[in-house]
Structure 1
Amino acid sequence: MKTILSTQNKYIKELVSLKDKSRQRKKSGLFLIEGVREVSLALKGNYTIRSILFYPELFSVEALTNLINNTKIEVIEISKEVYEKLAYRSTTEGIIAVAETKNHDISNLTLTTKTPLILVAEAPEKPGNIGAILRTADAANIDAVIIANPKTDLYNPNIIRSSVGCVFTNNIATGSTEAIIAFLKANNINIYSAILQESVPYHTQDFTKPTAIVVGTEATGLSEDWRVNATQNIIIPMQGEIDSMNVSVAAGILIFEAKRQRQFK
């Protein structure tokens, strides 16, 4: 087992760069995972873990041994100063993993059911919203989450934190709006776009068939391509003074209506 005590160590500096810079994550194909649950879910999601760094005052060798379960992962003991340099969260658990990113291009998306339920989110920017969407998708156990025209690195520490690791439990794809629409049509998946124009209340539609529910940002909504290519545009009827709601809340309402119709199968 290696030990690193100095924050000036070259490897530690590289990891700090992974934590702070999206460009470095994309260049290296690596990212950091912080937290016991998050690392556990990444292992369950078949992510390749290059190394695990732990601070023994917070996370014991015994707990680490149980976590990695005899897998061949490099283990590095680190000092309190090194851990605090790498840790993103104020509530600490003493463990950080270095993992390989996955290729999430829409061309690699595989669906395992004939009647998939998919959530498409176009151009979400706020990591907190993306994390909340991924938590909802995991709770509903839907078949895929597709992010169109992504504005934020999927392995941003804020997304991992706010999704409580659900970034590792969902079947996720990314791509341009044009490529995603082509994928959905090629697979005969009905498109229900949450948009004001030419829309009907969401609960009037049949979501038991192959279904993609598409949501946009609160600021700009969905692009025109989703309106004209939709099987049906849908709205959530609003009874207050404003005409929009948080995208993750809207996604939750629509997804669980589809799950209700499918009798939560």
Structure 2
Amino acid sequence: MNKVISSIQNPLIRQLVQLKDKSRERKKSGLFLIEGEREITLALKGGYELEHVLFNPEIISEEQINNLTTKQLNLIEVSTDVYQKLAYRDTTEGVLAVAKTKNHAIKDLKFSRKNPLILVAEALEKPGNIGAILRTADAAYVDAVIIANPKTDLYNPNIIRSSVGCVFTNQIATGTTTEIIAFLKSENISIYCAALQASVNYHTQDYTKPTAIVVGTEATGLSNDWLDNATQNIIIPMQGDIDSMNVSVAAGILIFEAKRQRDFK
């Protein structure tokens, strides 16, 4: 018999509302919320441990929940009022999971290829841009995504939603710019920085060797530490009236040029 919660004043529900709304609570507890069948499936594929799965039987059946995985799930049935209090999306699927966060230390990165391709993003603030970059990284099957000087935690609901769950299946690390540069140099990984200064056209470079492509914010670009330590600064030639494009679009162009040179391997 599943546990049933019908009150939004239930202590567990009040805690989960805090997890949804506050980065501080996610970091303190080591827990976060996942909404949606696809996202939960990808989290399980990515090795995330689920504490609870909450579902509203008015929207989704228990049988559908159990079809997500062969693992035994700790199911909690919730009322429509409770579900709507926890749900982040307007278009709802009726299922949420409480999952444990992972450690994203740079030292834990592991590469299966001798010539890894890494995407580095520095100081991005908008969760939507981070999510879009993670989708690009998933599509290109890069070896890792590294977030330098992160401005928001990876388990922000907007990142989960905009990445369509790719936050769970990409290999991701976070750290300071200094730490990341030291790591890349220790691994003999060439650093190509998207920047206006002292740059060459992006398609003139060889990305078939171990490569990190580094992008920054549209407003301020990359910090001087990156520019000082770059193997080469690169630029995407633009023919319009502005000199920048959305960071996730730029990352996609650069990453897929590297994939083209590698015969999409």
Letter in 2 for 1:200: V
**Distance in 2 between the 1:9 and 1:258 partners?**
51
**Distance in 1 between the 2:3 and 2:113 partners?**
45
Q: Is the aligned partner of 1:254 residue 2:246?
A: no
Spell out the pairing of 1:59-138 with structure 2 (5 A cutoff): 59-69=60-70, 71-138=71-138
Q: Is the aligned partner of 1:26 residue 2:30?
A: no
Q: Percent identity?
A: 74
Per-residue deviation at 1:73? 2.5
Structure 2: any 5+ residue segments left out of the alignment?
Answer: none
Q: Which deviations, in whole Å up to 9, do the C-alpha atoms of 1:46-100 show, x marking residues without a partner?
A: 000111000011111111111132x232110000000000000000000000000
Letter in 2 for 1:115: N
Contact 2:19-2:32 at 8 Å conserved across structures: yes
Spell out the pairing of 1:39-58 with structure 2 (5 A cutoff): 39-58=40-59
- Where does structure 1 differ by over 3 angstroms across 4 or more consecutive aligned residues? none
Spell out the pairing of 1:212-223 with structure 2 (5 A cutoff): 212-223=212-223
Per-residue deviation at 1:109? 1.4
**Distance in 1 between the 2:246 and 2:216 partners?**
10
Per-residue deviation at 1:182? 0.4
Structure 1: any 5+ residue segments left out of the alignment?
Answer: none
Q: Which deviations, in whole Å up to 9, do the C-alpha atoms of 1:211-253 show, x marking residues without a partner?
A: 0000000000000011110111100011111100000000000
Contact 2:66-2:73 at 8 Å conserved across structures: no
Task: Give the TM-score normalised by structure 1.
Answer: 0.99
**Distance in 1 between the 2:69 and 2:62 partners?**
11
**Distance in 1 between the 2:228 and 2:22 partners?**
37
**Distance in 2 between the 1:175 and 1:153 partners?**
12
Q: Which deviations, in whole Å up to 9, do the C-alpha atoms of 1:116-149 show, x marking residues without a partner?
A: 0000000000000000000000000010000000
Task: Give the TM-score normalised by structure 2.
Answer: 0.99
Secondary structure at the aligned position of 1:6 is classed as coil
**Distance in 1 between the 2:110 and 2:5 partners?**
41
Q: Is the aligned partner of 1:233 residue 2:241?
A: no
Look up the match of 2:179.
179
Look up the match of 1:145.
145
Letter in 2 for 1:138: D
Letter in 2 for 1:257: E
Spell out the pairing of 1:152-167 with structure 2 (5 A cutoff): 152-167=152-167
**Distance in 2 between the 1:66 and 1:154 partners?**
27
Look up the match of 1:16.
17
**Distance in 1 between the 2:69 and 2:84 partners?**
22
**Distance in 2 between the 1:240 and 1:163 partners?**
29
Paired residues, number = 264
